[in-house]
Structure 1
Amino acid sequence: MTTIFEWARPENIQPESITVGTWRKFPEDFRRLVEVVNGDAVRRESSNSHERRTTHRLLTMLADAAREHTARDPSARLNAARNVEVVLWDVPRATIRRPDVALFEHSPPDLRPIPAWHVRTVVEVTSPNRVKTDRLAKMYEYAAAGIPWYWLVSVSDTEVTGIETYALDHGVGHYRLARHLKPGTAFAVDLPIRIELNWDRLTDLVL
């Protein structure tokens, strides 16, 4: 019997809707594998080595930008992190995502998952097996949660082929394309803070 048939048992059906409170009590090993969509556990799509490398390098750039911005304006206190838990809403049923990278305002360590109103930018490194989720489901959810900026990063086996930056249009409640960045087209963006893009680091993903 294969693994999927061993799993498919009545006792393995989710017995009740997941709340933010119950989510905090789950073991970290479980939380790393799933997200919560309207109270239901949804397994996260796995990423390949090129996507993980892209995520790490983008995180470095956003973290550097956050430190420099905070140095200029200590009241800002911005942080950047990868795979941080963000609660988009908790009623009527909780939705909790783990964007590949998030730029967010400082919050107490015990305030986890981070409420969406602390988040300034979310970044998703997309791939063919995740494009529907990233372009439709997550784009709608992040906009509904009021997150001001959404970056959608396309990557091939060797390089980042483009970064689409979307700004939230509060009047209509959805994102509008702000800029479509491609290698060599821009080396700094102000979305929402000044971020230096090192395309050399994003166009050589093969170690």
Structure 2
Amino acid sequence: MVDRIGRGGAVEPVWDTLTHHEDYAIPYWVSENVTVHMWQAMPESLCRRLEVVDGRAVLLGSPTDDHQGAALSLGIGLRSHARAYAQASGRPVDALYGYDLRLRTDPLHHRRPDVIVYGQAPGRGLPTPSDTLLVVEVVSPSSRVIDTVHKSAEYAAAGVPHYWTVETGDGSICAISWYALPDGDKRYRLRAQWTPQLTPEGIWTDAPFPIRIAWDELAF
């Protein structure tokens, strides 16, 4: 495994040309020039460990307990609100935890957000950027630049209207920043920041639909 130096000096680990995953021999093309056909030929257990950035496979680091706890609690909370909104409005809305979001096909480029909130008819498969209403990324120390700079630019360029970044510490969520795309723009602007100190009532927003989540609902 080697490191790739990305924009802004961020380091993203990638597979080298001679490595194995479980009992699966990873061929040379996994490291770069990965196509949709190649991706579909990989075992699911390997795909869950990778993102693909401009055709180059990027190895995902092992998440911390805080990262997993925050992603899971937000995924549960957002799915509950999404389904309640869908039932009340008749609009198909749901949330997924830890699924791929393909941003581009050629060159292949997809990320694996911690939570995706999307709207589409049942049975249409995984969400696309045009279906996606909100993407959530829990920021880790090793991925801060990637989450707050690179992924922010990528999701904005793909037209995802809302983006949350989540900060954790000492076994709890300590801050959530909400970024939104102004009409006709491709760069996020900060709309709000929720913290237990600044917003003791929790997360309160009406976009992309009404969301009211108390901090104790996000405990992990």
- Per-residue deviation, 1:40: 1.0
- Per-residue deviation, 1:20: 2.7
Q: Output the CA distance in 2 between the equivalents of 1:89 and 1:152.
A: 22
1:77 aligns with 2:84: no
Q: Output the CA distance in 2 between the equivalents of 1:143 and 1:36.
A: 17
1:35 aligns with 2:61: no
Amino acid at match of 1:106: Q
Q: What is the TM-score with the length of structure 2 in the denominator? A: 0.81
- Per-residue deviation, 1:12: 4.8
Native 8 Å contact 2:133 2:162 kept in 1: yes
Native 8 Å contact 2:162 2:208 kept in 1: yes
Pair 1:37–1:109, CA change in 2 (3 A): farther
Native 8 Å contact 2:75 2:97 kept in 1: yes
Match of 2:143 in 1: 130
Match of 1:178 in 2: 191
Q: Output the CA distance in 2 between the equivalents of 1:103 and 1:44.
A: 21
Pair 1:108–1:197, CA change in 2 (3 A): closer
- Per-residue deviation, 1:195: 1.3
Match of 2:104 in 1: 89
For this pair of structures, how many residues does the alignment match? 197
Match of 1:141 in 2: 154
Amino acid at match of 2:80: D
Deviation string 1:125-156 (CA, Å, 9 cap, x unpaired) is 11211101101110010001110000000000
- Per-residue deviation, 1:170: 4.1
Q: Output the CA distance in 2 between the equivalents of 1:174 and 1:152.
A: 15
Amino acid at match of 1:200: D
Segments of structure 2 that go 5 or more residues without pairing to the other structure are: 3-15, 20-25
Pair 1:28–1:8, CA change in 2 (3 A): closer
Q: 1:153 aligns with which of 143, 148, 166?
A: 166
Question: Partner of 2:170: helix, strand, or coil?
Answer: coil
Pair 1:25–1:106, CA change in 2 (3 A): farther
Match of 1:189 in 2: 205
- Comparing 154-163 with 15-24, greater Cα deviation is found at 15-24
Match of 2:112 in 1: 98
1:52 aligns with 2:68: yes
Question: How large is the RMSD of aligned CA atoms in angstroms?
Answer: 2.3
- Per-residue deviation, 1:47: 1.0
Runs of 4+ in 1 over 6 A off after TM superposition: none
- Per-residue deviation, 1:8: 5.7
Match of 1:68 in 2: 84
- Per-residue deviation, 1:24: 2.6
| Structural mapping, 1:191-206, within 5 Å | 191-202=207-218, 204-205=219-220
Q: What is the TM-score with the length of structure 1 in the denominator? A: 0.86
Amino acid at match of 2:69: R
Q: Output the CA distance in 2 between the equivalents of 1:116 and 1:173.
A: 13
Amino acid at match of 2:98: N
Amino acid at match of 1:58: L
Segments of structure 1 that go 5 or more residues without pairing to the other structure are: none
